[in-house]
Amino acid sequence: MKLAAFFKQYFLSLFFAILSVAYCFQVYEVGKNYNRFDKVINEDAFGYYIILPAFFQYHDHNFEFIDTVLRKSEVYKSYVPPVINTAVNGNKVCKYYAGVAVLQTPFYLMNSILFENKKSETGFQKSNHFAILISAAFYLLLGIWGMIDLLKRLKVHPLLAASAVSLTLFGSNLLAYATYDIAYSHVYSFFALVFFIRAAYIFKHKLNFQSAVMCGLFFGLIVIIRPLNGIAILFIPIIFGIKPLTELFQKPSLKLTLISIFSACLVLSLQSLIWYWQTGLWYVYPYGNESLNLAHPQLFELVFGFNCGWAIYTPVPFIAMVLSLILFLIKKQFRQAIWMFVCSFSLLYLLSSWYYLHYGCTVGCRPITEFYGPLFIVFAYATNSFIQSKWSKIILLLFTSIGIKYNLIVHHQFFENIINWCEMDKERFQMVFMKTHEAYKYASSPFWDFSRYDQHRVFQTIAIQEQLSINSEKNIDQFQVKLPELDSKDSSLLFNLKIKGSMHDGINDSYLRILINDGGEYIELLNLLLRRKITLAQHEQAFIYQFHVSKSIKNPLLNISLESVNSKACTDLKIENIEIKRVKL
């Protein structure tokens, strides 16, 4: 077999296998490094999942087991995510739609069969976390396979198809919701959206009963995972055009179209049945006071805002959307261009109209992640005719490589708390842009506010009077101080470190590294990026850096070093003294 023929036939299959291994490795690394294996069912994931134990294990439509069982367990005794609202008739209803639970059901039931232990099983054991993790990874990879299969059917160049799929997973914030918060709805929605578009394409070319049913089932699934995602139906005319869609409502296609609609209604009825089981009502608005405010969209902030803005933190999908629109215009495919604009604008308008724009503490713009499958399918479809020359392929590979690299750095910043998940602005973003050094950890987070302890008595003051200085020739300066025994007396120890300092260069990446040991045993390590406390000046500025330790220290040894991230900082510090208080945090 010739190399070109082999490449054409097996390249994408081999690519899928390699991508799957790379993804599974990423799941393992994130789970291990950030302790996520025991936190799969957390926050929103808890809300989507809770329907399963309520129905299959506790037979409890009022969710009373949350108080009688979960709040008495070690894991949930202090906090249970607020996932239950009250319906108009006073009955309890899960605020989350049931589509995710429907997809998780086979994995939940299999786990129940394999690990059933009626005496200790709460429905939230380690095996449950693992089963849900496996379910999310399964649907993610199935969605990736669906993308590759559809791109083959669309006769997209294999290199472009591989690039589009790689960027979907590793070039966007879908990666965070496929690894870190893996059991949120986004992976499941991604799968459903891809398979709906794939089913619609098959339905267009094979007007038969099976394709009609599958098309309807997947659209219904999209809606019962998250109703707003039903707007995905606007992606269809972008690829398929208008005429084939109008033909579906004419004989002989009309019968099959009605079968497809009926199939979608069957899936939608599952949600109504679950609501009826919970509340006795066939329809409920489960979100309570949370709603869309269509009169006051925040479109610019959603896309370009420095706090989770889509184009700021995940620019590759945004660029792909804009490029797709431009390429449709260049090719004079004006209908596709119009539908691309209508679909994109409608989606962003609706997402920006939600009462809480940032949808919780998120990695970039969270609610758009499930649409990356359809978006990159359209991108590959629009770009395909331009990927012919050697240079176009080189540009594509560069775009893919740079996009993935940027995305991986941003995700590292989020996971390491260099970027604040909940609260960013332009100044903070510029300060940590593309920074990965440990000195930037928590640099975009506000300092702890200890002002309420200002009047507390200081029980220990230690004079230090040490000078620290670094420049382009000397990148580190340090000293050690032996402290007396510190007894917290069932409180926490609050340290007030008094410092004078000045920075002498234009861009200063110097930081103070503070390490506390107890007879050689690690107690606490803190990094203070000095630009957060000192403005660039020639004269000395005095400030206090506060931190706490939550226990007594028998043989405390304080290690303080002044270091430079980039080996260019020129900084002088004087550590004057340290005051210690006992406080109840």
From the list 559, 566, 576, 578, the residue with the least C-alpha distance to 477 is: 559
Q: Provide the terminal-to-terminal Cα distance of the chain, rounded to the nearest Å.
A: 71
Q: Facing residues of 563 across strands?
A: 476, 511
554 in Cβ contact with 469 (< 8 Å): no
Separation of alpha carbons 148 and 376, rounded Å:
11
Does 220 lie in the same domain as 365? yes
pLDDT of residue 234: 85
- Domain-embedded: residue 377: yes
Which domain does 458 fall in, by range? 451-583
The CATH code of the domain that includes 523 is 2.60.120
41 in Cβ contact with 132 (< 8 Å): yes
- Domain-embedded: residue 216: yes
Does 526 lie in the same domain as 394? no
Residue type, position 348, single letter = L
- Domain-embedded: residue 475: yes
Q: What is the pTM of this model?
A: 0.92
In Å, how far are 274, 285, 444 from 278, measured between CA atoms? 6, 13, 43
Interior CA angle at 398 toward 396 and 402, to 5°?
Answer: 120
- Domain-embedded: residue 303: yes
Does 185 lie in the same domain as 132? yes
Does 254 lie in the same domain as 139? yes
148 in Cβ contact with 198 (< 8 Å): no
DSSP string of 504-542, one letter each residue? -SSS--EEEEEEEEETTEEEEEEEEEGGGT--S-SS-EE
Residues in the chain: 585
pLDDT of residue 119: 52
Tell me which of 415, 443, 475 is where a domain ends. Answer: 415
The structure tokens listed for 450 are 């200890």
Tell me which of 371, 398, 415 is where a domain ends. Answer: 415
Separation of alpha carbons 542 and 534, rounded Å:
8
DSSP string of 81-146, one letter each residue? ---EEE-TTS-EEESS-SHHHHHHHHHHHHHHHHH--TTT--S-SHHHHHHHHHHHHHHHHHHHHH
From the list 226, 162, 221, 231, the residue with the least C-alpha distance to 10 is: 162
Does 108 lie in the same domain as 218? yes
Does 372 lie in the same domain as 236? yes
Does 275 lie in the same domain as 159? yes
Strand order across the 521-529 sheet: 476-482, 556-564, 510-518, 521-529
Count up the domains in the chain and report the number. Answer: 2
From the list 542, 553, 529, the residue with the least C-alpha distance to 576 is: 542
- Domain-embedded: residue 269: yes
- Domain-embedded: residue 372: yes
- Domain-embedded: residue 300: yes
Separation of alpha carbons 182 and 82, rounded Å:
19
pLDDT of residue 289: 87
Q: What is the dihedral of CA 404, 410, 414, 417, to 10 degrees?
A: 140
The structure tokens listed for 120 are 């200790």
In Å, how far are 50, 272, 285 from 46, measured between CA atoms? 6, 21, 19
Contacts of 560 (CB under 8 A, 6+ apart): 466, 468, 478, 479, 480, 481, 512, 513, 514, 515, 575
365 in Cβ contact with 176 (< 8 Å): no
pLDDT of residue 473: 86
pLDDT along the chain (585 residues), means of 10: 67 94 97 93 94 94 92 86 92 95 96 73 88 97 97 94 97 96 96 95 87 94 95 81 60 82 95 96 92 92 93 96 95 89 93 88 89 95 90 94 96 94 90 93 92 92 92 90 90 94 79 93 92 77 92 93 88 93 90
In Å, how far are 481, 541, 545, 573 from 439, measured between CA atoms? 22, 21, 15, 17
Does 491 lie in the same domain as 367? no
Separation of alpha carbons 356 and 308, rounded Å:
12
Q: Which residues of 317-339 are buried (b: 16+ CB within 10 A; e: fewer)?
A: bbbbbeebbebbbeeebeebbbb
Question: How many CB atoms are located within 10 Å of the residue 34 CB?
Answer: 13
Does 524 lie in the same domain as 400? no
Separation of alpha carbons 244 and 225, rounded Å:
28
Does 455 lie in the same domain as 386? no
472 in Cβ contact with 559 (< 8 Å): no
DSSP string of 271-293, one letter each residue? HHHHHHHHHS-S---TTTT--B-
Judging by beta carbons within 10 Å of its beta carbon (0-12, 13-18, 19+), is residue 398 exposed, middle or buried?
exposed
Does 159 lie in the same domain as 246? yes
585 in Cβ contact with 518 (< 8 Å): no
Does 189 lie in the same domain as 76? yes
- Domain-embedded: residue 335: yes
Separation of alpha carbons 244 and 246, rounded Å:
6
Helical H segments across 416-482, by residue range: 426-432
Tell me which of 366, 396, 415 is where a domain ends. Answer: 415
Residue type, position 93, single letter = V
Question: How many CB atoms are located within 10 Å of the residue 350 CB?
Answer: 16
